[in-house]
Amino acid sequence: MSQNAVALEAGRRRTFAVISHPDAGKSTMTEALALHARVIGSAGAVHGKGDRKGVVSDWMEMEQQRGISVTSAALQFSYRDVVINLLDTPGHADFSEDTYRVLTAVDSAVMLLDAAKGLEPQTLKLFEVCRQRGIPVMTFINKWDRPGNDALALMDEIEQRIGLKPTPLTWPVGIAGHFRGVIDRRTGVFIRMERSPGGAELAIEEEMSPEEAAERFGADWATATEELELLAMTEADHDQKTFLAAASTPVLFGAAVANLGVRQLLDILVELAPPPAARPTADGGQHAVDGTFSGFVFKMQANMNRAHRDQVAFMRVCSGRFERGMVVTHAGTGKPFATKYAQQIFGRGRETIDEAFPGDVVGLVNATSLGIGDTLYTGEQVRYPQLPSFPPEHFAVVRTNDTSAFKRFRRGIEQLDGEGVVQVLRSEQRGDQAPVLAAVGPMQFEVATHRLEAEFGVKVQLDHLPYEVAARTDAAGREILRSESNVEVMTRVRDEALLAVFPHKWRMRTVAGRHPDLKLD
């Protein structure tokens, strides 16, 4: 395939993540977008009430039971001749490391804000990550069908607390909880919206002239038009350059659970979200989308489907054309890697794919030789930057009392480590029989123990350790710290890095002050 053809295919892609604070409606929005693209026939409630199934992106039993996302999922579908690659992310702050990895694989993001809660702590952190990575962000004010904050107040909060200029593209008619529809600021058209019976189908929409809207909605329409005049006075108009520079954020209003405003979001994504572009390489250069094939692994996941019991490496295609069966080079080892088993993963479903282009996410099945952050390429060598690991804040020794299950225990621990569910540490004090699990948040332990029992048939017990702070050190630092109490040095199994762990940051500062030559970073 010619370079021009690859560039055209890349131009048709929109690859983005849905991110937010927990319970803001991310998985519901993922499903609503798929519904509007006609990928699914009806939406399932997040908690799977009645005869409605759980959301399509929540495949893990634990997710379906609790109605939260603790893993990320990749969905692909077409809309208006554009290929949408949508990455749903974990909804809980404990899984911020997984969310960060997903953000390395996207070109833009949709941030959901709860109309009643506004900017919450996790939302602020995610906005900052997007800013640091230069990821353009669209904002969707969700749950406008329920009581919430004033629309103008939410715009002020976005600008004052995170420094992004909000530029509403749609504006609500009716206060939160009395949602009548939205005004498209670019065309002036009013779109009346009504939830479909039961809320599982596409919303009912009707375009109305300003005169018709004024006659039907009276005071609500008058208030909305006054607010639009204030927005015009503050020059809160969309500017594509500042949006792509991650300095402004287009804003839309709606309610994902009722499928209100979702079509407008899809249209805006197609029209304004950036397609894949050249990506920075580890040596400081850039690799063009129409160059030779390259991609990197941003997620590992095993046992997504109990009928398969396999391991999937999620690879973002960065350049060139991917063809199933092609032999690529593993940048870390220089060894060839065959891609015979390549699939698209849609929640719990999967299907074989024959080709993919920049922006697409490919599931490489039984890719046991791959790890998170690995680069694959053909032709001239390409290597993308390694994905950073977050410093863990929670530590626990994991054991099983069932000696007959020890091989399964070790296999399960290795699996969880390879996927990045937890970091696995080796302690000289405890030996290989009792590895230490390290996590950013305690729910990671819950997921680990649940999966060990559900997927490997191993019941385990956790003994929590009194450490909260970790820093990398070296062999010399390990020897220095042997003489210190309430401090321990462990080896991270994944990369053999030495981690010094402390009960709190004050203890670390005290020890560092006593040993000026001690390396801690």
238 is in an annotated binding site: no
Residue in 141, 90, 92, 152 with CA at minimum distance from that of residue 117: 141
How many angstroms separate the CA atoms of 43 and 201, rounded?
A: 7
Residue ranges with strand state E in 294-420:
294-302, 311-319, 322-323, 327-330, 336-338, 342-346, 349-352, 355-356, 361-365, 375-377, 394-399
Query: For the chain, first and last CA: distance in Å?
Result: 47
How many angstroms separate the CA atoms of 136 and 108, rounded?
A: 5
Cβ–Cβ < 8 Å for 113, 400? no
91 is in an annotated binding site: yes
- Beta-carbon neighbour count of residue 411 at 10 Å? 14
156 is in an annotated binding site: no
Residue in 31, 48, 49 with CA at minimum distance from that of residue 39: 31
Residue ranges with strand state E in 320-400:
322-323, 327-330, 336-338, 342-346, 349-352, 355-356, 361-365, 375-377, 394-399
Burial of 284 (0-12, 13-18, 19+ CB in 10 A): exposed
Cβ–Cβ < 8 Å for 151, 141? yes
Residue at 150: amino acid letter: D
How many angstroms separate the CA atoms of 191 and 219, rounded?
A: 17
Q: Which residue has the tokens 């600021």?
A: 185
Give the phi and the psi of residue 302 in degrees, each rounded to 5. -115, 155
Q: Where are the alpha helices (DSSP H) in 234-344?
A: 240-244, 262-272
Residue at 37: amino acid letter: A
Enumerate residues 6+ apart whose C-beta is below 8 A from 137: 108, 109, 110, 111, 127, 130, 164, 246, 249
Element (H, E) at 85: strand 82-88
How many angstroms separate the CA atoms of 502 and 484, rounded?
A: 10
Q: Name the binding residues for GTP.
A: 88-92
